[in-house]
Amino acid sequence: MELRGTWFDGQSGRGAPGVMRVDAQGQIFRDVQGQPCAELAAVTIPARLGTMPRTLVFASGWRFVSDQHDQLDALMGQQGKNGLRWVDRLERNRNAAIVGLVLLVVSMFGLYQYGIPAMARHTADALPAELLDEMATEALQSLPLQRSELPLPEQQRIHDAFARLLKVNGLPAEHYRLHLRSAPKIGPNAFALPSGDIVLLDQLVALTDKEDQWLGVLAHEVVHVEARHGLRGVLQSAYGALLLTLITGDASAATSTVMDFSRVVLENGYSRDLEREADELGAELMLRGGWDPAELATLFERLAEQDSGDLPGWLRSHPANDERIRALRQAGQSAIPSR
């Protein structure tokens, strides 16, 4: 096919009348003779707009202006046969849409999986101590806690051992407040609040027969406080609920989660990773004072026997599995057998 028109070389503004030849293979020639200068598939042909001459732009900078509309339309049709039909374009757009959707889902997942924990960690580190104390007071008041019924010398022994645990590990005693309480409704439990308030219930002490057992629980809880696990957990679910609200438009999830940390810590518990971290570091705290971390594994097993299912025991918020028990036993093998 040959079209008449004007060639512009892209350098000078002056065009030269000439011929554009397209052969059956879709090769374009600037002259009737000579080498092909481009491929038809690579050239964009503008759609017909009345009788306005149309300009074909080549990658080399050359342009060809022609008003032979019937031939140009025929070339557009030929391009279609060469693979640029509208179905293909639609197909490409559809693929782009799917890729976009997948990217969106992946980034949402990424935000949920990594962004939110990171945000929670930063916020947890930035919250002022006064706010944490206020939250703790509120949480402690909301729970059915009574005075401990342990004999006073026993209470003193627990306080002394806890103080020594902090001291041998160089942890500031003024950051912690150990509350010995009784709570028949809560059952054998212990928990730490982000403020450094740690509550140990008589019901849990009753299941122990060694100092290393209840102290193992306290060491574990100290790690939760030091690493701000509880706070991170609450903030994580708060941020998660916020993200969910943004996606679904339903605000009830967010409002019910925000700052509800006694629920998160007591009922939902910590993630498996945080538990492992608390076990490992808690065992180190114990070893430094010469206590045996393996005794915590013994307590886990005793709790598992006791747990009737209707009382939220320490196990509920700190689910033990064989892996944790094995790890604690292993840590215990390096214990100093002097006690």
Neighbours of 303 (CB within 10 A): 22
Neighbours of 118 (CB within 10 A): 13
Nearer of residues 26 and 187 to Zn ion, judged by Cβ: 187
State the minimum distance, in angstroms, from the CB of residue 147 to Zn ion: 25
How many Å separate Cα 38 from the centre of its chain? 51
State the minimum distance, in angstroms, from the CB of residue 256 to Zn ion: 24
For tokens 């102290």, the residue is: 215
State the minimum distance, in angstroms, from the CB of residue 117 to Zn ion: 17
b vs e for 247-259, b when ≥16 Cβ sit within 10 Å of the residue's Cβ? eeeeeebbeebee
CA 4 → CA 57, 65, 68, distances in Å? 16, 9, 7
Nearer of residues 5 and 194 to Zn ion, judged by Cβ: 194
Nearer of residues 202 and 275 to Zn ion, judged by Cβ: 275
State the minimum distance, in angstroms, from the CB of residue 161 to Zn ion: 19
Cα 28 to Cα 32: distance, rounded to the nearest angstrom: 10
Residues forming the site for Zn ion (CB under 5 A): 275, 278, 318
State the minimum distance, in angstroms, from the CB of residue 213 to Zn ion: 15
For 10, left (φ over 0), alpha (ψ -120 to 50), or beta? Answer: left
Element (DSSP H or E) covering residue 210 = none
Task: Determine the residue type at 83.
Answer: G
Nearer of residues 66 and 317 to Zn ion, judged by Cβ: 317
State the minimum distance, in angstroms, from the CB of residue 319 to Zn ion: 9
Nearer of residues 226 and 275 to Zn ion, judged by Cβ: 275
State the minimum distance, in angstroms, from the CB of residue 192 to Zn ion: 8
Nearer of residues 212 and 275 to Zn ion, judged by Cβ: 275
Nearer of residues 54 and 232 to Zn ion, judged by Cβ: 232
- DSSP per residue over 230-273, as a string? HHHHHHHHHHHHHHHHHHH---HHHHHHTT-HHHIIIII---HH
Task: Say whether 56 sits in a helix, a strand or coil.
Answer: strand
Tell me the residue nearest to Zn ion as measured from the CB. 318
Pairing of strands 177-182, 197-201: parallel
For tokens 């206020």, the residue is: 134
Nearer of residues 43 and 223 to Zn ion, judged by Cβ: 223
Element (DSSP H or E) covering residue 3 = strand 2-8
State the minimum distance, in angstroms, from the CB of residue 211 to Zn ion: 19
